[in-house]
């Protein structure tokens, strides 16, 4: 059963990735908004923002921009899943002797690949803008792992949205709050500069711990307890979203 799931997931993932290769503007579009924000904050607003670290603002900003890149990209998962359901493709797959969950895993893995490519594009632009890090290979792998976990958690949320939406706009609109969540975190400014209630929310929401962890890896600083807080948030969200997504999928395909 496991080998069947792996084989079927690989086949369907290849199908989804071929669709993206035929329409690479999906990845480019995903990267445009984060890059525009990075340009705006670094070259227009960055001179007025004091992060207290003394380094280049792009170094401080990049971790949050990477999360916004992923939050922008996962909307396409909900969109593609919704279209598959509406076009009858999903029902056709269900009539074939394949593992049922492979349909969802194909969308999830496609999202993971596409978003990591978008993240790589954003990092290259950041390097051109002056981003520098002495992070070791191990630190880079840790950052990639955290970003992959973040992508998987949000993508399973996107699956729920794609299964539940009534319209194409509704399928992708759910990602908007996720895109704006980094603005109320330590992604752009230290939380200590925020008013009391806002600072409390910013310090206790998951984006801040993820941003702080990635920033510490890039800066070659001790990550402390932040990494455990970040992992607890991400793993907890991933498990919850996965369970709800699979449950919703079974209900939808049975109906």
Task: Give the residue among 72, 53, 70 at the shortest CA–CA distance from 189.
Answer: 53
CA–chain centroid gap for 140, Å, is 17
- Sign of the alpha-carbon dihedral angle for 108, 110, 113, 116: negative
Q: How far from 51 is each of 13, 42, 56, 186, 197, CA to CA, in Å?
A: 42, 12, 9, 10, 20
pLDDT in tens, 72-114: 888 888 888 877 776 666 656 555 555 566 778 888 888 898 8
- pTM value is 0.89
Sort 73 into a burial class: Cβ within 10 Å, 0-12 / 13-18 / 19+: buried
* Inter-residue contact 115 to 151 (CB < 8 Å): yes
Instruction: Give DSSP secondary structure letters for 171-197.
Output: HHHTHHHHHHGGGGTTTTS-GGGS-HH
Q: In the chain, which stretches have pLDDT less than 70? A: 1-5, 8-9, 11, 21-27, 53-54, 86-101, 252-255
Query: According to the model, what pLDDT value does residue 208 have?
Result: 94
Query: According to the model, what pLDDT value does residue 25 have?
Result: 65
Query: According to the model, what pLDDT value does residue 99 have?
Result: 58
How far apart, in whole angstroms, are the C-alpha atoms of residue 80 and residue 169?
A: 12
């Amino acid at each position: 059963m496991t080998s069947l799931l792996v084989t079927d997931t690989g086949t369907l993932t290849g199908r989804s990735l071929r669709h993206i290769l035929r329409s690479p503007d999906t990845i480019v579009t995903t990267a445009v908004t984060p890059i525009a924000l990075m340009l705006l904050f670094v070259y227009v607003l960055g001179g007025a923002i004091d992060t207290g670290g003394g380094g280049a603002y792009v170094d401080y900003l990049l971790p949050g921009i990477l999360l916004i890149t992923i939050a922008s990209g996962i909307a396409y998962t909900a969109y593609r899943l919704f279209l598959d359901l509406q076009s009858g493709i999903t029902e056709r797959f269900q009539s074939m002797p394949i593992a049922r969950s492979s349909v969802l895993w194909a969308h999830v893995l496609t999202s993971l690949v596409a978003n990591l490519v978008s993240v790589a594009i954003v990092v290259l632009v950041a390097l051109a803008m002056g981003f520098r890090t002495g992070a070791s290979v191990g630190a880079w792998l840790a950052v990639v792992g955290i970003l992959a976990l973040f992508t998987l958690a949000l993508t399973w949320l996107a699956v729920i949205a794609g299964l539940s939406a009534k319209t194409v706009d509704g399928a992708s609109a759910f990602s908007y709050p996720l895109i704006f969540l980094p603005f109320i975190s330590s992604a752009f400014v230290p939380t200590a500069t925020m008013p009391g209630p806002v600072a409390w929310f910013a310090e206790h929401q998951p984006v801040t711990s993820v941003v702080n962890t990635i920033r510490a890896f890039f800066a070659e600083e001790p990550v402390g307890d932040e990494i455990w807080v970040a992992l607890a948030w991400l793993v907890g969200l991933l498990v919850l979203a996965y369970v709800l997504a699979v449950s919703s999928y079974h209900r939808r395909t049975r109906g």
